[in-house]
Amino acid sequence: MTSSGFGSTSLMTRSMAWAIICFLVLPISIVFAVSVTDRPYLSLPRDGVSLQYYGNLVTSQAWLSSILHSLIIAVASTAIAAVAGTLCAIGCWRLSNRASNIIRLVMLMPIMVPTIVYALGIYQFWIDLRLIDTYTGVIIAHAVTGIPYVVITVSTALAGFDPRLEQAALNLGASMAQTLRLVIIPNILPGVISGVIFAFIHSWDELVIVLFIAGRGVFTLPRRMWDGINEHLDPTMAAVAAVLVLITLGLLFIDIAIRARRAR
């Protein structure tokens, strides 16, 4: 193929890539425009830009309470998922046999089955355990669905880890706990951090499970937005959505920066 042929193929590839990016990003950008509307309903600004709904977000007791609920649940469930997912991935990596593949598959089941199916099952189970509408119930449910993200990213990081480093540490007299803390974890830390970020984003944005197992006692931010859509189209929801998008992008950029720094 001639250089002109390669050039046209490259141009077509870039054009397709930018078209896909625009298709994905443009609908999200509308949220930012709607969040500064001057109308009392969801619409684009008509007479000017207004930040009143951002002000409503930071002054409304209902919205602040939901943000606090979501933050508590996301932090607690992410901590559980990070510890359990990291240990599971390391254990499967050390075993490296058929049993480890089965265990890894089981750990991925929460994101392989439809969320509605998992929510129905956990709802019936939580009724028997009296965990409906409790922080404990929601945190455990979110932690279980967050573990697969940690397992995937940590397993990917372990694929590039030299097992001779572990053997050297053990031969020099380090215990398994010391080897884990001083050798393995530091070398796979970017994978752990990536898993933590994805597990946090998942818990922060999760709605279906909350609709099944939470009531008025645990009212997360996505649940507040859901009720707002059903009851009245308050433009504050657009402000909340814009903030959520910015938080998600910020976390993803942090992940990219950590990976780039680690690769140097």
For the cut 90, the answer to whether the pLDDT of residue 148 exceeds it is yes
Domains observed in the chain: 53-263 (1.10.3720.10)
Q: Which two tokens stand for residue 41?
A: 């309903």
Mean pLDDT of the chain: 85
Model confidence at 4: pLDDT above 60: no
| Coil, strand or helix at 54 | helix
Which whole-number Å values give the CA distances from 222 to 25, 121, 237, 241, in the listed order? 21, 21, 10, 9
Distances (CA, A) of 68 to 52, 130, 222, 224: 21, 23, 12, 12
**225 closest CA partner among 250, 248, 242, 249:** 242
Q: How confident is the model at residue 180 (pLDDT cuts 50, 70, 90)?
A: confident
pLDDT of residue 16: 86
Find which of 13-17, 50-54, 196-200 is predicted with most confidence, using mean pLDDT: 196-200
Whether pLDDT at 245 is above 80: yes
Choose the most confident range, by mean pLDDT, from 31-35, 46-50, 132-136, 254-258.
Answer: 132-136
Residue where the block lists tokens 């707002």: 228
State residue 7's pLDDT score: 57
Q: Which DSSP symbol is given to 36?
A: T
For 175, the 3-state DSSP assignment is: coil
Average pLDDT over residues 27-44: 81
Concatenated DSSP letters for 69-129? HHHHHHHHHHHHHHHHHHHHHHHHHHH-SHHHHHHHHHHHHHHHS-HHHHHHHHHHHHHHH
pLDDT at site 199? 93
Structure tokens at 134: 């409790």
Share of the chain above pLDDT 70, in %: 95
pLDDT for position 80:
95
Write the pLDDT tens digit of every residue in 204-231: 889 899 999 987 788 888 888 888 777 6
Give the highest mean pLDDT range of 78-82, 229-233, 240-244.
78-82
pTM of the shown model: 0.83
Of 169, 163, 195, 160, nearest to 87 by C-alpha is: 195
- Is residue 260 within 8 A of residue 77, CB to CB? The reply is no
- Pairwise pLDDT comparison (161 vs 150), residue with the higher score: 150
Q: Provide mean pLDDT across the span 43-62.
A: 83
Question: Is pLDDT of 6 > 60?
Answer: no
Name the more confident of 139 and 173: 139
Residue 97 has a pLDDT of: 75
